[in-house]
A and B are shown apart, each in its own frame.
Chain A
């Protein structure tokens, strides 16, 4: 079974600084997708960024970028120029290509942004 591990239960960053959240996953599949979701205090799950495993180029969305290391099964999220609104729980998620879109989530990393 696929598993997703987020080894950092909590992280903190100063406003305007950069922070990296870690995620590793375990799979024997070659066709899969990886996601980072953000859950602010409102608890609404918001997609931050996605990565297709077949793409070598790391995904980027404005201040958010990933470091996808397929061989190492690592998928970290980098947040640049951190803002107070980035404070949230961040979840890494995995989807197998043929799995009816089912997602497997990590346990999350709580990010605090200090002014």
Chain B
């Protein structure tokens, strides 16, 4: 069965600082991977998805970027964080029966 690791679990960063959130998966190969953000009191918004190494699709214009350096690694980055980047970030992978399996998430607070 698949496992998703997200690191770190919690992060507090000042405005203007860089960001790197990591997602690694186990138990599958060549997965479709996704980054979602959940702002307070709102649903999940798809930020990026990747169908393979080096392949990134952006869903919304924003202050963030994503990379997929390895088959089972998906990284979310920013050069300069904004207050509006605060939220709960979830990594997910596509599994059988068309649904997505989610990782435990990273809570990001930008001060």
Contact = CB atoms under 8 A, between A and B. Distances in A.
A52 B77 CA distance: 35
A102 B105 contact: no
B105 A101 contact: no
A64 interface: no
Interface residues of B, number: 25
Interface in B12-62: 32, 34, 41-46, 49, 51, 57, 59
Identify the interface centre among B44, B46, B94: most chain A CB within 10 Å of its CB: B44
A42 B88 CA distance: 12
Given A45-B90, A100-B49, A50 B43 contact: no
A101 B32 contact: yes
Give the interface size bracket for A toward B: 20 to 34
Interface of A: 4, 33, 35, 37, 42-47, 50, 52, 91, 95, 100-108
15 contacts: A4-B43, A42-B104, A43-B105, A44-B102, A45-B92, A45-B102, A50-B97, A50-B99, A52-B98, A91-B43, A91-B44, A101-B32, A103-B44, A105-B43, A108-B43
Interface of B: 32, 34, 41-46, 49, 51, 57, 59, 88, 90, 92, 94, 97-102, 104-105, 107
